[in-house]
Structure 1
C-alpha cells in the first residue's frame, strides 16, 4: 500500500537497485540513515545528504590520486573535532524550546509539539513515553502517575466502585510476598494487625488459592477488613526484582523465605504503604508510595548501572520501564487519524519528534536549517593546519560536505543554494536562512532548531 512519507530513512529503506554495484552504494546510505536513527532518533535526511556529499567529493579526490587511508584518518580527526565544537556551542533546552524542537521534528505540527513537551514535563527525563495507535480520530496524551503494574484484581468481589469496576484504596497498607498463599492461617496474623489499624490492605503475592481468597472476600463483604489481592508481576528472577522495586517505592519489605521471612512473622512496619491505590481488571496503579527518596534514588542508580551494562534490547527496555516507574512516570501518546495511511505517517512523525526531543533535552540545541554546519565548516579551516597534507584534503572535503544540507534546502525552496550558503557564511552564528519566509534571521528565535 502507498505511504505518505516525510522521513529520510523510510524513503532510503525502500530503495533497492538492480545493479549490484549501485545497490552497494544504496545500502551504504541506508546504513548511514539507520545508524543516525538509532543514535539520535531523527536527522536521517541531513545525514544522508552529508554522506552523499562526502562520498562524491571523496571519490573525486581518490580518482585524482589522493591516498584513501590518509583521507579516512583525516575524516575521523575532523569528525572528532566537529563533535567537540557542537558540544561547545549547544545550548541547554528547557520550557518552550522543548515544544519548538518537537514541532520542527514532527513536520511543523504544533499540536504534537505541545503534546510531547507536556509529556516530558509530566514524566521527567527518567520517565517513559510510548506512542500507540488510537481507536479514535483524535491524538491524545495519557499520563500514568505513580507505578503501574500490569496485574488486575484476582476476584471481582474486591471491587469498591461498581460503576467503574475498580478497587480504590486511600492510605492503604501493602503486603508484598513472593509466596503462593493457600491456607488462610498464614494470613490471619497480618489481617488481625491491619484490621486493628483500620487501613485497607493490598496483597501482592504469587497467587492466592481458594481458601485464602474466599476468606478475604467474606471478610470484605462483612465489613471486617477492606482488602484486595493481585498476582505479582513478571516471572522468575524478574518477578523478584519487580517486587523489590515495589517494596522500595512503598517503604515495605518483600516477605520471602530467601531472606528468612515468613507470613506469620510479619509486623506492620514490614508492610508498604501508599496514599492512593487503584486496581482495575488488568492494571494496578500505586500513587505516592511512602518510600524514602534516598532509597528510591539508590535503587534507580543500581538499575541505571544494569542498563549501561546490558547488551539485550529486551532487558534494556524492561530496565528503562522499571526506572520510569520508580523515578518518573509513564506517558502514552495515542495517535489518531482518519485513514490508515495517515495514521502510519503521523505515528512515524511523532516517534521521530519524540526521539529528537529526548536528544535535545540530553545534549542541547543549535541553530537549525543547516546554519550551524556552515559555521562549523569555517572552524575547520583553522583546525586543518594541525593535520598532514593528505589529511588536510579530508578536512576540505568535510568542509564542503557540511554546506550540502543548506544548499539542498535552498534549492528545494527554489532559490540558488550556493548564493544562500555564501550569505549565511558571512553572518553571525545564530543567523540562517528561513526557507518558509525566504528571509535571513535568528534561527533559534524563529524556532528552527537542531
Structure 2
C-alpha cells in the first residue's frame, strides 16, 4: 500500500511533481493524476499487490464519482490505515475502531456540505477547473463551455492537430449519421443539406417501396414545406424518387439513417420524436407508413445534414414532454451500473436538455498532447462536481476546519470508538501536510498555523502565503472532498478489520535441466 501511496502523493498540490509512466509501445506518458499513476503500478509480491489493489480501488471509486480528488483520497487512505493498524497492534478492538471512524466521517461529511458555497458565477467555475488542470487558460475555456451548454450539457475533449485550444459549440441536437445520398446537398460549398422550417418523419424500419411513402409525401408537398426522413434505411425506388424530385426541384427532402443499433436506436429515435413533436412510426405500436397522417410528423426550425452527422435546431416538441423525458433519462443514469451506459445516457441527456461543446486540445509533442488532454478531462469533471454540490476552501483546509468543528460534538464517544474518531482527526491533516511538504515547507508547522486562522483561510502553496482560500480562487468541489474522505475511510475500515489474507501460492521455478555428461560444455 505504501509503495503505491508514496508514488501518488508526490503529485499533490500546486507544487506537486509529475510522474512518468512507461508504455510498452509508443512514447511514455507524463501525468500528475493519481488514478492514472495508481493503475500503472503492478507489484510482484502477492501480499503487497493485495494492499496496492485496495488503495487503487479508493482512487478509482473517487475518480468515478467525482472525477478528481484521487490523490487526496490515496493520501487519506494511507494515513487512516497506518494509524488504524498501529492502534490494532497496540490492542484496540478493530470493530470499535471501525465504528468510531464511520461516526467521525459521517459528521465531517455533513459539516463539509453545510460549509459548501453554491457555484453561481463563471469565475468560480473557471477557478475550480484551473486548479484541477493547473492552467488558467483551460479553466476559462471550460467555464465558457459550461456557460454555453448548461450543467446538463456534455463537454468532450478531442485531440487536435493544431497547437493550442479551440472551443466548438453545437447548437441543437446532433447525432452521428449523415445523408444517405450526396444528391440531397443544398449547400455545395460546405457539402451540407440545409432544410429550414421542415417536417420530420421518423420511422423505425426500412423504406424501400415508394407506395408506402407516396401518401405522406403528397400531403407534405401540398403544404409547400421540405421533409427530413429519419429511418433505419431508405433504398430502392423510395430513395430514387426522393433524389429525382430533389434534382428537378419539385420537392425538397433529405433522407438520413437512424443513429445507433437495437434498443439504443429505439431510445434515440424516441428522443428525436419528443424533441420535434413527432411520433415514431413503428409496427410495434400499430402505426404504418402507408396510412400515416400529418399529425405523426414533427417540425424543426432548421435541420443541417452533412456527410457524417445531422443537427436538428429548435424542434417543435412539447416542453412538458421534453422535461419528462429528461427526468426519465436522469433516473436511468442514477440506476445504471455500467460506465459505458452512463456515458451514453449522459450524451442523450445533453442533446435533449443542454448542448454539446467540444474542446480541441493541441500540443507540440504526442507526450504533451496526451497529458494535456487528460488534465482537461479531469478539470471538466471537477467543474461539473463543483456545480452539483458547491465549493469549499481548497488546499486541504476544508477537511481540517470541518474536523475542528466536528470533534467537539464527538466528545461523547468512549473507549476504542473515541480512538477511531481520533484516527480520523489525525488523518485529515495528511492532505495539507503533503501539500506543504511538496512545496518545500514543514507540514506540521503549516497545520498548526492553519488551525489558528479564521475559517476558510489557509496556505497558498504556490506563493507560501496564508490567504482567504475562496477569495483567492483556491477552491475544491465539495463532492470531490467528500468522496475522497468517504472512499478512503471505507477501505481503511476494511483494512483494519481484516484478520487473514489468502493469496495465490507462488509457483516454484522449474529446476535447471541435468547436465549431459561430457557434452554440456
The bucket for the TM-score relative to the shorter chain is over 0.9
What corresponds to 1:233 in structure 2?
259
Preserved CA contact (<8 Å) 1:176 1:204: yes
Q: What is the aligned counterpart of 1:279 among 297, 301, 305? A: 305
Q: Which has the higher mean CA deviation after the structures are superposed, 380-389 or 211-220? A: 380-389
1:263 is displaced (CA, Å) by 2.2
What corresponds to 1:350 in structure 2?
376
What corresponds to 1:55 in structure 2?
81
Q: Distance in 1 between matches of 2:327 and 2:45?
A: 51
Q: Which has the higher mean CA deviation after the structures are superposed, 92-101 or 15-24? A: 15-24
What corresponds to 1:188 in structure 2?
214
Secondary structure in 2 matching 1:93: coil
What corresponds to 1:199 in structure 2?
225
Question: TM-score with structure 2 length normalisation?
Answer: 0.83
Secondary structure in 1 matching 2:358: strand
Q: Distance in 1 between matches of 2:445 and 2:373?
A: 37
Preserved CA contact (<8 Å) 2:96 2:417: yes
What corresponds to 1:105 in structure 2?
132
What corresponds to 1:27 in structure 2?
53
1:162 is displaced (CA, Å) by 1.0
Pair 407,236 (structure 1): closer, same or farther in 2 beyond 3 Å: closer
Pair 433,291 (structure 1): closer, same or farther in 2 beyond 3 Å: same
Pair 371,313 (structure 1): closer, same or farther in 2 beyond 3 Å: closer
1:30 is displaced (CA, Å) by 2.1
What corresponds to 1:362 in structure 2?
388
Gaps of 5+ in 2: 1-26, 477-521
Secondary structure in 2 matching 1:152: coil
Gaps of 5+ in 1: none
Q: Residues 343-362 of structure 1: CA distance to partner in whole angstroms, max 9, x if unpaired?
A: 11111111111111111110
Q: How many residues align?
A: 449
Q: Which has the higher mean CA deviation after the structures are superposed, 315-324 or 279-288? A: 315-324
1:313 is displaced (CA, Å) by 3.1
Q: Distance in 1 between matches of 2:397 and 2:346?
A: 35
1:342 is displaced (CA, Å) by 0.4
Q: Residues 392-442 of structure 1: CA distance to partner in whole angstroms, max 9, x if unpaired?
A: 111111111111111121222222221111111011111111112221110
Secondary structure in 1 matching 2:31: coil
1:167 is displaced (CA, Å) by 0.2
Preserved CA contact (<8 Å) 2:112 2:399: no
Q: Which has the higher mean CA deviation after the structures are superposed, 23-32 or 289-298? A: 23-32
What corresponds to 2:505 in structure 1?
none
Q: What is the aligned counterpart of 1:331 among 354, 357, 361? A: 357
Question: TM-score with structure 1 length normalisation?
Answer: 0.96
What corresponds to 1:42 in structure 2?
68
Q: Residues 244-283 of structure 1: CA distance to partner in whole angstroms, max 9, x if unpaired?
A: 1111100111122222222232222321110111001111
Secondary structure in 2 matching 1:390: helix
What corresponds to 2:445 in structure 1?
419
Pair 269,20 (structure 1): closer, same or farther in 2 beyond 3 Å: closer
Pair 257,30 (structure 1): closer, same or farther in 2 beyond 3 Å: closer
Q: How does 1:292-441 map to 2 (within 5 A)?
A: 292-441=318-467
Q: What is the aligned counterpart of 1:148 among 157, 174, 188? A: 174
Preserved CA contact (<8 Å) 1:380 1:399: no
Q: Which has the higher mean CA deviation after the structures are superposed, 438-447 or 30-39? A: 30-39
1:443 is displaced (CA, Å) by 0.3
1:257 aligns with 2:283: yes
Q: Distance in 2 between matches of 1:16 and 1:184?
A: 62
Q: How does 1:36-185 map to 2 (within 5 A)?
A: 36-95=62-121, 96-107=123-134, 109-185=135-211
Q: Distance in 1 between matches of 2:54 and 2:297?
A: 57
1:223 aligns with 2:249: yes
Q: Distance in 1 between matches of 2:160 and 2:179?
A: 26
Q: CA RMSD in A?
A: 1.6
1:363 is displaced (CA, Å) by 0.7
Secondary structure in 2 matching 1:199: coil
Pair 219,18 (structure 1): closer, same or farther in 2 beyond 3 Å: closer
Preserved CA contact (<8 Å) 1:377 1:400: no
Q: Residues 176-226 of structure 1: CA distance to partner in whole angstroms, max 9, x if unpaired?
A: 112322222222222222122211110112221221111111111111111
1:18 is displaced (CA, Å) by 4.2
